[in-house]
Structure 1
Amino acid sequence: MKPIELGRMRVHKVHEMESPVPLLSQLPGVTRDDLARVMRWYQAPDEITGDPETSMMTYAVHSWVIEIGGKRVLVDSCDGNHKNRSIEAVHQLNTPYLDNLRAAGFAPEDIDLVLCTHLHFDHIGWNTRLENGRWVPTFPRARYLFGKRDYAYFQANPAGEALHYEAFCDSILPVMDAGQGELVDEDMQVMAEITHGLWLEPAFGHSPGCCTVNAQAGGPPAMFWGDVIHHPIQLIRHDLPFAFDSDPAQASKVRRATLDRAADSDLMCFPAHFRGTAAGHVLRDGDAFKYRWIEA
């Protein structure tokens, strides 16, 4: 996929994998009418059948690399290879993620900054890689920024979060031990110059410290919304609790506010889990929303 240019900012997608799961296991309450409505603008016959019982939700997992202000910023580092995970679909992966990063034009040492929208396992895994039996930072020159709220929450090994705690131990702690990690507030101004900016914005609900990454450099604004919205069906049913939301009611409020903002501004959206080019624009569609992907 060719890079997306927004003024003086360039954004590259780095694919890791796709992972389909039954739709109703993630979003109980989706109806045939909901699917009929989303199928007007989202055609994925291998995924959406029109019947909630047989439809799937496919997670596309990828990172975004932003070139802005002379820096190369990687947003969300996917699942990672060779990691022990308590769900089989991501246990001991061996994907060509680093090859895909290089195909996009970047070696690991080219990355200056790593931002994680939150600290769930599929957004932090490539923070580290296995080297001589030890987990070491994948991006040796990078500064890694971790939100304080999620860090404190997962550091405590909370009940019901074993999967994410596994990832915290092998993908966050080694970065801190190496001296490359920094704990920050979820509204941090990461980069602020006269002609460009990069900042975090709180989006609590999916995780206790979930945030979005926002950027602009002399062109349309961009939002990297992480897991605020996982799948196109949530543009129809933004009210439904999602399976992995830590605070479902708050997450639904944030989803709606994010969609309103995206639809009412010239905002280029960069979802963490949409398929295809993933990037695109949110449009109003009556009492709900629809999505228009950019072309590859």
Structure 2
Amino acid sequence: MKNESRQSIMLGDVEITRVIEWAGPLGPARNLVPGVGAEVWKENEDWLSPDHWEADSDRAVVALQTWVLRSAGKTVLVDTGVGNGRERPGSPHFHHRQGDFLGELARAGVRPEEVDIVVNTHVHGDHVGWNTVAADGGWVPTFPNAQYLVPAADDHHFGPGNAYGGGLREDDRLIYEDSIAPVHHAGQVVLWDGAHRIDEHLTLESAPGHTPGSAVLRLTSGTDRAVFVGDLLHSPVQILEPACNSCFCLDAGQAAASRRRILERAADKGELLVPAHFGGTGAVEVRRQGQNFALGEWAGYVEVG
């Protein structure tokens, strides 16, 4: 995989451009998805390595990325990565990170002032970081003309109403204060619950479990279908083992139920599955295999830039 690369694909009338903030080995594979045994990784090494698993070190390979959708005359960002200069003491990979994400967006043809809608699939630090940038000793919205769509349940859980995720992690307070609260103060946040229609092609739908407000974004255009699933899946081994959650899922039962429901529909409706953190091409078709699922074709892109 290449860091900070871009690829594009057309689904119906919607152009999807992938902008990668960072990609590479992260942590031990079975720490990321504890329920998946070593034998599953080993049995699937031929396709998991090197894009999804570094076999020698037994580390999961992931990507931090934003999906840029050009739909119905608007520019929509799905998740905004980690951001620069953040205090993240509980997340060493994100702590004080510096990168050229805005430069990568520009090279993909996106200027901050041209973004119409920002979708945060959930309020975790690697999905909301570029909501804001540092300015005058504080934080201001990166995308000054955008409407930020934030799940209401996550805004409550991670915000002051629920004392920043119940006060379990200091990072949750820091994330809310530097990446969500400033957008509220600017009057650019729209909270939603259940479902929210963006345009004739794009609809948000609640899929709780990973977080209370975790969401998916459905794309329908002509005969093409896709579903952007955020962190319902961190690794493609979860397609093979859909009952297995990541170590970051807050409600294990809800997360597994949401994952199975989304995979079932993706398989039955022919939706391209687009998770937040898959390596390789980042998106894959899903097939039924008895009571479970198998991987179909990976997405094909045209390189940009």
TM-score of the pair, normalised by structure 1: 0.92
Q: 1:71 maps to which residue?
A: 74
| Paired AA for residue 207 in structure 2 | A
1:148/1:122 Cα in 2 relative to 1: closer, same or farther (>3 Å)? Answer: same
Deviation at residue 234 of structure 1 after TM alignment: 1.0
Q: 1:226 maps to which residue?
A: 230
Structure 1 position 120 matched with structure 2 position 128 = no
2 CA distance for matches of 1:164 and 1:5?
A: 36
**Which of 154, 170, 185 is the equivalent residue of 2:178?**
170
| Paired AA for residue 42 in structure 1 | L
1:48/1:288 Cα in 2 relative to 1: closer, same or farther (>3 Å)? Answer: farther
Structure 1 position 24 matched with structure 2 position 27 = no
**Given that residues 38 and 232 in structure 1 are in contact (C-alpha distance below 8 angstroms), is that contact kept between their aligned partners in structure 2?**
no
Q: 2:3 maps to which residue?
A: none
Q: 2:49 maps to which residue?
A: 43
| Paired AA for residue 238 in structure 1 | P
**Given that residues 82 and 92 in structure 1 are in contact (C-alpha distance below 8 angstroms), is that contact kept between their aligned partners in structure 2?**
yes
1 CA distance for matches of 2:73 and 2:62?
A: 31
Deviation at residue 281 of structure 1 after TM alignment: 1.0
Query: Percent same amino acid at aligned positions?
Result: 35
C-alpha distance after superposition, 1:52-110 (max 9, x if no partner): xx411122100011111111110100100011112221011111111111111111111
Q: 1:85 maps to which residue?
A: 88
**Given that residues 86 and 97 in structure 2 are in contact (C-alpha distance below 8 angstroms), is that contact kept between their aligned partners in structure 1?**
yes
1:139/1:278 Cα in 2 relative to 1: closer, same or farther (>3 Å)? Answer: same
C-alpha distance after superposition, 1:267-286 (max 9, x if no partner): 12221000122122112345
**Given that residues 84 and 99 in structure 2 are in contact (C-alpha distance below 8 angstroms), is that contact kept between their aligned partners in structure 1?**
yes
Deviation at residue 142 of structure 1 after TM alignment: 0.5
3-state secondary structure, aligned to 2:282:
coil
Q: 1:6 maps to which residue?
A: 11
2 CA distance for matches of 1:48 and 1:236?
A: 18
Q: 2:278 maps to which residue?
A: 274
Deviation at residue 30 of structure 1 after TM alignment: 2.4
| Paired AA for residue 31 in structure 1 | G
2 CA distance for matches of 1:202 and 1:256?
A: 14
1:278/1:46 Cα in 2 relative to 1: closer, same or farther (>3 Å)? Answer: closer
**Which of 206, 225, 228 is the equivalent residue of 1:202?**
206
2 CA distance for matches of 1:78 and 1:113?
A: 15
**Given that residues 30 and 37 in structure 2 are in contact (C-alpha distance below 8 angstroms), is that contact kept between their aligned partners in structure 1?**
no
Deviation at residue 49 of structure 1 after TM alignment: 2.0
| Paired AA for residue 7 in structure 1 | G
Aligned length: 289
**Given that residues 64 and 76 in structure 1 are in contact (C-alpha distance below 8 angstroms), is that contact kept between their aligned partners in structure 2?**
yes
2 CA distance for matches of 1:247 and 1:56?
A: 24
TM-score of the pair, normalised by structure 2: 0.89
Deviation at residue 45 of structure 1 after TM alignment: 7.6
2 CA distance for matches of 1:10 and 1:152?
A: 33
**Which of 270, 292, 295 is the equivalent residue of 2:297?**
292
1 CA distance for matches of 2:21 and 2:118?
A: 16
**The 10-residue stretch of structure 1 (36-45 or 269-278) with the greater mean CA deviation from structure 2:** 36-45
2 CA distance for matches of 1:68 and 1:259?
A: 24
1:2/1:48 Cα in 2 relative to 1: closer, same or farther (>3 Å)? Answer: closer
Deviation at residue 46 of structure 1 after TM alignment: 8.2
1 CA distance for matches of 2:183 and 2:222?
A: 33
**Given that residues 66 and 73 in structure 1 are in contact (C-alpha distance below 8 angstroms), is that contact kept between their aligned partners in structure 2?**
yes
1:129/1:147 Cα in 2 relative to 1: closer, same or farther (>3 Å)? Answer: same
C-alpha distance after superposition, 1:3-46 (max 9, x if no partner): 21011110111110125111122222322331134334333288
Q: 1:45-64 residue pairs with structure 2 within 5 A?
A: 47-49=53-55, 54-64=57-67
**The 10-residue stretch of structure 1 (12-21 or 123-132) with the greater mean CA deviation from structure 2:** 12-21
1:97/1:291 Cα in 2 relative to 1: closer, same or farther (>3 Å)? Answer: farther
**Given that residues 80 and 126 in structure 1 are in contact (C-alpha distance below 8 angstroms), is that contact kept between their aligned partners in structure 2?**
yes
3-state secondary structure, aligned to 1:168:
helix
Cα RMSD for the two superposed structures = 1.8
